[in-house]
Chains A and B, each alone.
Chain A
Amino acid sequence: MEQLSRITPATADTLSALLNAQDPTWGLEIIKNTGRPAGSIYPILDRLENLGWVTSAWEENTDRKGPRRRLYQLTAEGAKAAPDVIASAKLRERQKAARGTSPVFGRSVWA
């Protein structure tokens, strides 16, 4: 598993959603659980997968017709490292908020 070069709040949310899930989770469900746009989460899942934090597999043994869904889960190493990454991301967000920067809009609350 390779180190994450940048950890954005969206990355932390994705890791959090994967950590909370007991079983392999459908990619679209992760998008819904994070509440973030698909354009943010798809590339993050791709990056996490290629760095060895996440594995993905096609769903199997389903009666549903049509294309198969892609299911994601944290690797053993990813599951071990994810809590620290999420904690440090949350800490950074808190520090940013304390400095007077809105975590939502990214600009000073005094503006």
Chain B
Amino acid sequence: MKTHRLILKGAIHLLPAHLQARYTEQWQADLEGAQELGMSRTSIVGGAFLTALTMNSNYHFAPLERAHTLAHRARWSIACGLALAIGMVCLVGFVPDRPAEAANLLPKILAILTNLIYSMMWLLVAATPLFFAHLLAIFLPPKIRPVVYLLIPALFIGAFIYDARSQNLGSTTVLWAYFTPFFLSLLIYLWARLSILKAPLRAAVASQAQKTTLAFTTCWLFTGLMLVFALAFLVLFPYSYAPYSLTTYWQLIGEQPYTLWAEHWLIGTTLTLLALLSAYLLIALISRRAKTAQGVIGTSLALSALATLIYLVTVLFMVLPSNSYNSYTDELGGFALIITVLALVSGVFLLLAPRSYRSEYPAEKTKPDGAVLSHSR
């Protein structure tokens, strides 16, 4: 029974803060009464976990004013765009200048992998103008929005074709290496956009679709972060080199003894996890919602703050002398400027945007006969 109660507490902590009191009492009563009905306590605890993970907390908020809804959706758009763009800044310094270069230097499988990652960099590059399209679409009439989304990808496809022709690559490589990840990115991004547009007016927290999209976006961000930390360690490590591109990086790793290779990735990953934990705790402290996992990772403000934090770390490395991040200064001058402006603009927007969403329904109402009812519509 004690174990069940303990696990149940874990499930309750997954719920949004305003629902925890109700479900604590309800599920504890169910747990204690399970034997009376001949039911398994484990099934109650399992059910509670499943419910906490899948519960649509949008139901539990009051309707929003239209202006607040727009601001809320704009915040999500900015958060997605900013995270994708900053993920790009973290990653783009680690790719070779041209896919053909990788093919000459590496075994075929690594060349394919390099090309794939290279094309994913373009995917992130593509996300930056889409971010602007997002911002535009929020304030445009619905009929014009599709045009914005069609126009910008069309421009990018043209650019990709031109780039591929200049390198004399085969059409299959072009399609595989460039277009597929690009369209994948586009779909993910439009999915986020559509889910934001289609969200009911009362939605004050992320829907399942938004959360999934954010998971993709956050993956990009964290992959960039992992590479940044991993390479920083490689620079500090006395037996390692300071590579300037992913091609050289893999080539050097291939030359190292296996123990070094494993050690490098282990420590790099550990550092990344520590960085994530620190960011998590920082955000939790700022938002004072440490007990609510959904509240910490599921807000646009939190994602924007995390993305900006990571960007600042990257910039800090960039200005330090004698390290591999010096390579950024040559390749990323324009990008860094754009991202800095984006971070500034979005920071000001987030500060100025109205924040009166999340007005909750009264948790309980009292019936005339004295019975206590939950909110009802």
- Chain A residues proximal to chain B, CB less than 8 Å: 1-2, 26-29, 31-32, 37-43, 46-47, 49-52, 55-58, 60, 66-70, 75
Residue contact B56 to A27, C-beta cutoff 8 Å = no
B37's partner among A2, A29, A50, A56 (CB-CB below 8 A) is A29
CB-defined contacts of B34 to chain A, threshold 8 Å:
28
- A102 to chain B minimum Cβ distance, whole angstroms, is 24
Is the CB–CB distance between B376 and A43 below 8 Å? no
B374 at the interface (CB under 8 A from A): yes
Does B37 contact A32, Cβ atoms closer than 8 Å? Answer: yes
B residues with CB within 8 A of A: 22, 24-26, 28-30, 32-34, 37-39, 43-44, 46-51, 54-56, 59-60, 367, 370-374, 376-377
Contact of B47 among A41, A47, A55 (CB under 8 A): A41
Q: Which of B32, B46, B370, B377 contacts A60 (CB 8 A)?
A: B370
> Are A75 and B376 within 8 A (Cβ)?
yes
Once the chains are docked, how many angstroms separate the CA of A52 from the CA of B371?
Answer: 18
Q: Are B56 and A38 in contact (CB under 8 A)?
A: no
Which residues of the other chain, A, contact B55 by a CB distance below 8 angstroms? 43, 46
Let me know if A43 and B51 touch, CB within 8 A: yes
Q: State whether A49 touches B374 (Cβ < 8 A).
A: yes
List 14 A–B pairs whose Cβ atoms lie within 8 Å, in order of A's numbering.
Answer: A27-B30, A28-B30, A28-B44, A32-B37, A37-B46, A38-B43, A41-B47, A42-B48, A47-B59, A50-B59, A52-B376, A57-B367, A58-B25, A69-B33
Q: Would you give the shortest CB distance from A59 to chain B, in whole angstroms?
A: 8
Closest to B28 in A: A67
Smallest Cβ distance from B270 to chain A, in angstroms? 34
Query: Per a CB cutoff under 8 Å, which of B29, B44, B46 touches A67?
Result: B29
Given known A32-B37, A46-B51, A55-B373, contact A27–B26 (CB-CB < 8 A): yes
CB distance from B373 to the nearest CB of A (A): 5
**8 shortest interchain CB distances as A-B pairs:** A38-B47, A39-B50, A50-B59, A39-B47, A42-B51, A67-B29, A70-B26, A67-B28
